[in-house]
Amino acid sequence: MVKEKFRLETMPKILAIDTSCDDSSAAIVEGKVVLSNIVASQNQIHKKYGGVFPTLAKQAHKENIDPAINLAMKQAKVSWMEIDAIAVTVGPGLAPALEVGIEKAKELAFKYGKKLIAVNHIEAHALSPLALANGENGEKKSELEKNLPALALVISGGHSEFILIDKIGHYQKLGQTIDDAAGECLDKVGRLLNLGYPAGPLMEKFAKKGHLSKFTFPKAMTSQANFDLSFSGLKTSARNLIADLEKKKKLDKQAIYDLALALQEAVFEQIIYKLERILFSPDLSKHLYPDRNFMKHLDKDQIIPSEIEQIWLGGGVAANTNLRSKIRKLLRKYQQLSGKRIELKVPYSKKLCGDNAAMIGLVASFKFARGEFAKDDAKKNDLDRKPNLGI
Ligand code: KG4
Ligand code: ZN
């Protein structure tokens, strides 16, 4: 029988590959420990388009993936002999981009006689806070997955999802964006402001120089009795505001800072609002949705503490310090009201927030322990590209 848990020194060494979007990444992990994590960014290529151009992404992946793998092996000081399996993202993502990573993983697995593991990119973002830095004494952190259920927030350029995790490998999606993802909204408005791609990091920087209440955007989805999100209306409001400011010749530097702050606030406040609803819903399996004023009118002894033990934050937007502090503030408020302490866990480095192969290797380590290897035969092909794969 394959044991779910195994000691660090017997952990498998896995080569992981991610080419799901615009970053070509290769990493070596040993269990949850990241030995190397190489990310070859294509930002310079896609900058002029204000978004990812799929055929160019494919071409760049083809050029970058071998050097990325070689460097990952070199930095981790591992030989092919020591590699126990090769993991690759099979979806979701851009089909032509996914294909490059999958083909490379198959080629190497055949050449070196290694097992393959197919990984879901969203699951990888969700579990990314579990990754351990090389040399880190991970005793405390490595226990994270024992304290479940956790609520994973995957907030990136392609996804904005709330995922309840009661066991690694068992996921229940509580809510998600019904249109654009949070990062996509920041990027699209950034494009209108000529901020380059991706705009999220610059938005964060500009927002720090902005004045609050200069501009405000309506908070979406507040009347909806669910945990879903929506950001496309926000993008339209921002577009109209930008056009208006341009017409009045008022789109100066400070107006851009103020706009960045207002937009960031609106995106994050919506996420916080739905997170609050999740925490105060006594029975998540029944999806109860207290109304907006629920907290104000609540007696302490009326609150049934949430079953959620931890919040795991992953995805490119998780790098944003303002989003992290808003979540921590909510959790403090929640503790005051409910008496229950829920901790926010984020990846140990910002590099693990954006797309990277180390998080793919992390998921693969759990799959390795469960003996979940990819089948690639006439009956079942786990290694097909799955551009629309969900969790
Ligand atoms: O996870 P990721 O690299 O790719 C996807 O799977 O989508 O996320 C990229 C997204 C982009 O939209 C980018 O603008 C956003 O993450 N992002 C940020 C920050 N850093 C990256 N958004 C807000 N603040 C940041 N510091
Ligand atoms: Zn991603």
Residues 4-13: tens digit of each pLDDT: 444 444 799 9
Residue nearest to atom 8 of ligand 1 (CA): 316
pLDDT, position 55: 82
pLDDT, position 8: 43
Give the ligand whose atoms come closest to the C-alpha of residue 159: 1
**Which domains can be identified in the chain, with CATH numbers?**
2-136+350-369 (3.30.420.40), 144-345 (3.30.420.40)
pLDDT, position 306: 86
Distance of CA 178 to the CA centre of its chain: 17
Residues 134-178: tens digit of each pLDDT: 976 554 556 788 899 999 999 999 999 999 999 999 999 999 999
Our answer on whether the CB atom of 160 is closer than 6 Å to any ligand 1 atom is: no
pLDDT, position 236: 95
Q: Is the dihedral of CA 200, 347, 330, 303 positive or negative?
A: positive
Ligand 1, residues 39, 121, 156, 176: which to mutate, most atoms within 8 A of Cβ? 156
pLDDT, position 293: 59
pLDDT, position 9: 46
0.75 exceeded by pTM:
yes
Query: Rounded CA gap, 258 and 214, in Å?
Result: 6
pLDDT, position 222: 73
DSSP-derived pairing of the beta strands 132-133 and 33-41: parallel
Ligand 2 centroid to 227 CA: how many Å?
Answer: 21
Our answer on whether the CB atom of 186 is closer than 6 Å to any ligand 1 atom is: yes
Question: Which residues keep their CB under 5 angstroms from ion ligand 2?
Answer: 156, 355
pLDDT, position 381: 82
Ligand 1, residues 25, 120, 186: which to mutate, most atoms within 8 A of Cβ? 186
Our answer on whether the CB atom of 320 is closer than 6 Å to any ligand 1 atom is: yes
**pLDDT, averaged in runs of 10, over the chain (391 residues):** 47 96 95 95 66 79 95 97 98 95 97 97 98 72 83 97 96 96 96 90 97 88 83 96 96 97 96 92 72 60 84 98 98 91 96 97 97 82 91 91
> What residues pair up with 89 in beta bridges, in sequence order?
119
For tokens 């209108």, the residue is 192
Cis peptide before 387 (omega within 30 of 0): no
Residue nearest to atom 5 of ligand 1 (CA): 157
Our answer on whether the CB atom of 89 is closer than 6 Å to any ligand 1 atom is: no
Residue nearest to atom 10 of ligand 1 (CA): 157
Ligand 1 centroid to 349 CA: how many Å?
Answer: 14
Our answer on whether the CB atom of 21 is closer than 6 Å to any ligand 1 atom is: yes
Our answer on whether the CB atom of 204 is closer than 6 Å to any ligand 1 atom is: yes
Which tokens belong to 315? 């995805």
Q: Is the dihedral of CA 10, 31, 3, 90 positive or negative?
A: negative
Residues 48-95: tens digit of each pLDDT: 666 667 788 888 899 999 999 999 999 999 999 999 999 999 999 999
> What residues pair up with 52 in beta bridges, in sequence order?
none
Our answer on whether the CB atom of 198 is closer than 6 Å to any ligand 1 atom is: yes
pLDDT, position 2: 43
pLDDT, position 4: 44
